Structure 1
Amino acid sequence: MITIAAALALTILLILSMENLALPRLRRRSIFRRMSLLSAMPAVVFFTTLTMISYRPCFSAVATLIVFAGIIVANNAKFAILGEPLVFSDFRLLREAINHPALYVRYIGLWKIVAVCLAATLAIASAVVLEPPLAEREHIDDFIPTIVYLATVLGMIYAIVRGPLRGTFVTLLRTFGPTANVTEDVDKLSLVVCLIFYFFLAGESDRPQPGLPRMAQGKAAGKTRIANPAPAAAKRFLAQRGPDIVAVQSESFFDARKLHRVVPRDLLSHYDRRAREACYSGRLSVPARGAYTMRTEFAFLSGLPNAALGYNRFNPYLQLCKQPVWTIAHLLRSQGYRTVCIHPFHASFFDRHEVMPNLGFDTFLDIESFGDAPSFGPYISDMAVAERICRVLGEASDRPTFIFAITMENHGRWEPGRLDNQAPDPDIEKEPLGCPSLGLYLRHLRNTDQLVARVTTKLASRRSDGVFCLYGDHLPSLPNAFRTAHFEDPRTDYLVWRKGGATPRLLDTSADVLGQLMLHAAFSPQALESPQRAAVSAE
């Protein structure tokens, strides 16, 4: 018992010390503080469980410390790149990292992962070999204490996760004052505790968030049906054919010319031309930085500001969108539109094969529908996506079409050798600002510009009216380039263009409002509220 107590005490002390290293650190923390007992509880449960299974307290202490250290290292790495601490929904991405390692492993480094795994395996194996169990268990009766303990723990977990104690447990968690502001909560509650709290609170009906308008609250976070805030003018198209509408969420797109004068001025010449003719264009505030495409995607389609989603804001596709949620796709389908989502990647990524029907799409075309379409770098090219959009538009139909395309070509990481099989672009430096990754990114951006030209030309050539919207889901993860250029603006760029031109309006807006601006362009803008009001985000 003395050995167990000593190992547990040392584990708790080291865990509390390691918690002090977790980012962000908004204020000085002492090892022993008001939340120390709460912070230690996950370590106590984990240590006790391993001890009851192995009867090796030193092994249990080493394993517990390795697991908690791994969580803190992963948290700090994420915070350094994306400016956000680790959240519970990130663990859901472990499956994606296994299925699609190229999207994740590159950011950490394969050899670093291998080294960490080998070191952890060696440490645990050494502890098992060098430490004899506290008692030998030779008969089945010797395992009864372990079986009783595990049954009790698993029963309690079931009771609070899915059983009768869930409501009581959630109420208890709320008494500690979590805010769904992950930066503040990690600093106040500790990292691991915050992960546990958010896991249980996600999907629960949230209390109104301070500073949000009534329209954005209430049903937003926990209910399956969300009130339809669609412009009333859209309903007048029941008696006539509406315009074809194409919205493109462009991977990591922003006007990189704002970064530095080293970026060619004609890099986005087709985008510039359409922006001069556009109904609306400008800077776009997005709920993501360097990753988390699904946050911007959902904001655009649903019209809900990220803050209205409560604990679902980190990954709305994880729980919230597993049931029908109102989106502009639902609205347009109710007006007789075909609704098609195009994404040149695997349908299971972010569970889009389950989510997109719930968001109002009749058809979801994933990478399987692209066949032998050309790639540019590791992923299907933007021009292949443009051709797929044009093919869908060209399909005979007496119904107007809404296409929502999510590109992949410019997905990071922009590593040396990525475009070695492509002809060089003489107008783009290989290492602008001393950053080879920026040079690669700009070459992909040139292809996005070609997508704008191809799709808008197709819409302009059709007999029916057409509306085109393009926006960036988040900034690219290019920390060295941004640091060198002293660039700190987190916004991306957008345009909303309509066939035949319009009086251009420069408006800075947000992703949750952009869908409304697109509907303004499609359905009699003069009959709707002023665009200046629409451009103000609920956030």
Structure 2
Amino acid sequence: MSLLKWLDKRPMLQFAGISMLLNLLVEILSRRSITAGFEFLLANPLLFLYNAAIILLTLSVSLACKRRYFTMIIVSVIWLGLGVANCVLLGFRTTPLAAIDFQILKSVDSIISMYLNQIEIILIAVVLLCVLAGIIIAWKRTPKKKPKLLAAISAVIAVAIFIAASTSFLVKAQALASNFGNLADAYKDFGFAYCFSRSLIDRGITKPDNYSEEEISRVLKAIHADETLAPELTPNIIMVQLESFFDVNYLKGLSFSENPVPVFARLKESCPHGFLTVPSIGAGTANTEFEILTGMNLGYFGAGEYPYKSVLHKETCESICYDLRELGYTNHAIHNHEGTFYQRHVVFSNLGFDTYTSLEYMNNVEYTPIGWAKDAVLTGEVMKALASTSGQDFIYTISVQAHGRYPQEVVDPGQKITVAGIEGEKKRVAFEYFVNQLYETDAFIDALTAELSTFEEPVVLVFFGDHLPSFGIENEDLSNANRFQAEYVVWSNFPLEVSRQDLSSYQLNAYILKQLGINNGILTKLHQTLFDQEDYQAALEMMEYDMVCGEQIAYGGVSPHLPTELQMGVSEINVSGIRRENENAYVYGEGFTEWSQVIIDGNQVDAIFIDGNTLMIAAGDMEPGVSLVVAQIGDKTILSETSIYQCP
């Protein structure tokens, strides 16, 4: 009897061998190294077998199918596809593939050209077509077999019990973790199959064992939740989240023709500052943003979770915006990128923002050689937001200029700063490009502080980096020895005593508010009161669960935070008139940008942007009596529309 026939009569043994082979291939792809893949097998044989068992569980379903071998091929292709996708993804960022990535594919679609060139996109398409062709051939040629439903059920149950028992044993032995403090390290330590599978099912916050009304009441009493201060001064508060920004002088062994961040360095010498531990590296801007705005520790959420795509997509959440609203603040968000990215045009309403100015509402935008909007435009947008109200403003500004993927060929011969100490021409070129983008972002910091230094109202301005860039930076490469540490600095146009303190990003807003004598909000009080207490993290986890996944006992059973009527742009766009001239027609109004499109009787027509007050369309499109609106459209989504203008 041949080996194949022998294995054919013993399908579970066959599946076991395939699962171990698939696991090895996936680990090699995940670690982007053949050697590292085998090292995981040899150094962690129990974890390797545990991950193989997870793959075996999915293969076992094949027993219930007539086309057993075809189903086995499909399952194998899926696992290999995930491994390849993770391998490719890790070439652009440090965070490995998680289930949530498939939920944010729509956001990625608009920026794919900044990461992949046309040849790479074509190659991916060809590979996908080849895989599809292979699947079709497999469907036609693989034999049918009598389904073994009982055997399949027995196999699935047996493997599932083995996995459950192994999970319990490995967790108790501290060889496996159920919560990931660092997703990238978790994939390396525990294996791709386990971590990715956990990201599929792990959502929200796990219920603490001692969660109860009595425990919530105890925490509320400890933080004096019913005692809200009356601050003497309520200045405008501006927080500026800087894309991939950090002081590159912390990198060992590198030298620069001049300091790439001279302004930030100068501010650190004269202003309060500290390290800021963020939840991600190389990507994950929205998660740093979430922690800053809400004061919630993302570590208590699911593996690889993006709250912007889960809990915040439909529900509100306590935030600094809701807290400051109690003091009369108007809350603005500003971002020089597409408004739909990370679904911010939806999420910001659930975080309490009143206005959101995205790229589609900006004029005079300059771009980097690879297509990201430059940060210089943000200075004017911040000043517009301040001028749009007569009261106090909270402004959360998100920059984008230093975003990757960083080109490995020179795209700007006029770059000012050169770097020495990097091995490899392509790596040096990519890092020099990044450093020169930092230099321009640093100039934006200078321009904004200069503008605000003469502003008549009191202002507190906080700059901070969202994460380090995706250059494979390790702790040993940094003099501060922590690749999850960005920095923050606090500037003000009035005397403000702020002590130096290293923080995590979820602590920053409460820390800033404390310096101003503001303690509105339950989480704000919790951070300010329990920061150095032994039960700080346990209380924070309890309160996060209660607010996001629990019974909202802290709020009396019903959250007081209602979604806001989010206005796109700080001022409404309007149409004031039209004029026909020969073959052209002109639409006049206020607030037009290059993203303004004319819609007539529900149909979009070709429009040419002339200036902020004028759009031009074909006269034939503007018949008397038609209904006309101007819409701001980003990523094929209408973000806002003007009131209907009836054409005379």
Deviation, structure 1 residue 335: 0.9
| Matched residue SS, 2:323 | helix
Q: Distance in 1 between matches of 2:125 and 2:506?
A: 41
Equivalent residues in 2 for 1:485-500, closer than 5 Å = 489-490=482-483, 491-500=485-494
Deviations 1:407-458 (A, max 9, x none): 11111011046743xx713343599665111111111111111221122222
Equivalent residues in 2 for 1:382-421, closer than 5 Å = 382-395=375-388, 397-416=389-408, 419-420=411-412
1:292 and 2:284 are equivalent in the alignment: yes
One-letter amino acid of the counterpart of residue 117, structure 1: L
Distance 1:426 1:31, change over 3 A: closer
Distance 1:472 1:192, change over 3 A: same
Deviation, structure 1 residue 474: 0.5
Distance 1:65 1:345, change over 3 A: same
1:319 and 2:310 are equivalent in the alignment: yes
Contact preservation (8 Å) 1:252, 1:290: yes
1:477 and 2:465 are equivalent in the alignment: no
One-letter amino acid of the counterpart of residue 425, structure 1: Q
Q: Aligned residues, how many?
A: 484
| Matched residue SS, 1:492 | strand
2:69 to 58, 62, 77: 58
Contact preservation (8 Å) 2:416, 2:436: no
Q: Distance in 2 between matches of 1:502 and 1:107?
A: 52
Distance 1:88 1:534, change over 3 A: same
One-letter amino acid of the counterpart of residue 509, structure 2: G
One-letter amino acid of the counterpart of residue 388, structure 1: E
Deviation, structure 1 residue 29: 1.8
Distance 1:59 1:42, change over 3 A: closer
Contact preservation (8 Å) 1:246, 1:403: yes
- Residue matched to 1:69: 80
Equivalent residues in 2 for 1:36-185, closer than 5 Å = 37-45=53-61, 47=62, 51-52=65-66, 55=67, 57-76=68-87, 78=89, 84-102=95-113, 105=116, 109-110=120-121, 113-114=124-125, 116-131=127-142, 179-181=178-180
Contact preservation (8 Å) 1:20, 1:31: no
- Residue matched to 1:513: 507
One-letter amino acid of the counterpart of residue 56, structure 2: A
- Residue matched to 1:206: 207
Query: 58-67 vs 450-459, which deviates more?
Result: 58-67
| Matched residue SS, 2:353 | coil
| TM-score, reference length from structure 2 | 0.63
Distance 1:99 1:380, change over 3 A: closer
Deviation, structure 1 residue 332: 1.0
Contact preservation (8 Å) 1:270, 1:452: yes
| Matched residue SS, 2:318 | coil
1:256 and 2:248 are equivalent in the alignment: yes
Contact preservation (8 Å) 2:507, 2:527: no
| Matched residue SS, 1:347 | coil
Deviations 1:379-426 (A, max 9, x none): 11110122211221222x221111101111111011046743xx7133
- Residue matched to 1:138: none
Deviation, structure 1 residue 358: 1.2
Q: Distance in 1 between matches of 2:510 and 2:344?
A: 23
| Matched residue SS, 2:444 | helix
- Residue matched to 1:236: 230
One-letter amino acid of the counterpart of residue 81, structure 2: G
Structure label with greater radius of gyration: 2
Deviations 1:158-180 (A, max 9, x none): xxxxxxxxxxxxx9999686612
More relative contact order, 1 or 2 (CA 8 Å, 6+ apart): 1
Q: Distance in 2 between matches of 1:445 and 1:253?
A: 7
Q: Distance in 2 between matches of 1:335 and 1:418?
A: 50
Contact preservation (8 Å) 2:336, 2:398: yes
Q: Distance in 1 between matches of 2:416 and 2:52?
A: 59
Q: Distance in 2 between matches of 1:106 and 1:96?
A: 18
Q: Distance in 1 between matches of 2:502 and 2:103?
A: 33
Distance 1:30 1:232, change over 3 A: closer
1:449 and 2:450 are equivalent in the alignment: no
One-letter amino acid of the counterpart of residue 208, structure 2: R
- Residue matched to 2:332: 340
- Residue matched to 2:543: none
One-letter amino acid of the counterpart of residue 179, structure 1: S
Query: 423-432 vs 402-411, which deviates more?
Result: 423-432
| Matched residue SS, 1:236 | coil
| Matched residue SS, 2:331 | strand
| Matched residue SS, 1:352 | helix
Q: Distance in 2 between matches of 1:507 and 1:324?
A: 30
Q: Distance in 2 between matches of 1:241 and 1:392?
A: 20
| Matched residue SS, 1:456 | helix
Deviation, structure 1 residue 366: 1.6
Q: Distance in 1 between matches of 2:532 and 2:241?
A: 19
1:463 to 431, 456, 462: 456
- Residue matched to 2:20: 16
Distance 1:426 1:365, change over 3 A: closer
Q: Distance in 2 between matches of 1:196 and 1:530?
A: 33
Distance 1:512 1:370, change over 3 A: same
One-letter amino acid of the counterpart of residue 199, structure 1: L
1:358 to 318, 343, 350: 350
| TM-score, reference length from structure 1 | 0.75
Deviation, structure 1 residue 88: 2.2
- Residue matched to 2:618: none
One-letter amino acid of the counterpart of residue 127, structure 1: A
Q: Distance in 2 between matches of 1:234 and 1:265?
A: 48
Q: Distance in 2 between matches of 1:470 and 1:519?
A: 15
| Structure 1: tracts of 5 or more residues without a match | 136-144, 154-170, 220-225
Contact preservation (8 Å) 1:233, 1:524: no
Contact preservation (8 Å) 1:241, 1:399: no
Q: Distance in 1 between matches of 2:118 and 2:378?
A: 26
Q: Distance in 2 between matches of 1:415 and 1:228?
A: 52
Percent of aligned pairs sharing the same letter: 20
Contact preservation (8 Å) 2:257, 2:419: no
Q: Distance in 1 between matches of 2:184 and 2:255?
A: 35
Query: 21-30 vs 457-466, which deviates more?
Result: 21-30
Q: Which has the higher helix share?
A: 1
One-letter amino acid of the counterpart of residue 13, structure 1: G
Equivalent residues in 2 for 1:367-382, closer than 5 Å = 367-377=359-369, 378-382=371-375
- Residue matched to 1:139: none
Contact preservation (8 Å) 2:417, 2:432: no
- Residue matched to 1:159: none
Distance 1:191 1:101, change over 3 A: same
Q: Distance in 2 between matches of 1:35 and 1:431?
A: 40
Distance 1:369 1:432, change over 3 A: farther
Deviation, structure 1 residue 476: 0.6
Distance 1:294 1:485, change over 3 A: closer
Deviation, structure 1 residue 91: 2.4
Q: Distance in 1 between matches of 2:11 and 2:255?
A: 58
Deviations 1:116-161 (A, max 9, x none): 42442343233234446569xxxxxxxxx9xx99xxx9xxxxxxxx
Question: Pairwise CA RMSD of aligned residues?
Answer: 4.6
Deviations 1:466-508 (A, max 9, x none): 0100111110112389998899531112101111344574432
Q: Distance in 2 between matches of 1:59 and 1:464?
A: 70
Deviation, structure 1 residue 264: 4.5
Distance 1:108 1:196, change over 3 A: farther
Query: 326-335 vs 342-351, which deviates more?
Result: 342-351
One-letter amino acid of the counterpart of residue 492, structure 1: A
Distance 1:310 1:174, change over 3 A: farther
Deviations 1:234-258 (A, max 9, x none): 8414xx7621111011000000122
Contact preservation (8 Å) 2:51, 2:194: no
| Matched residue SS, 2:406 | coil
Q: Distance in 2 between matches of 1:291 and 1:463?
A: 37
1:428 and 2:421 are equivalent in the alignment: no
| Matched residue SS, 1:391 | helix
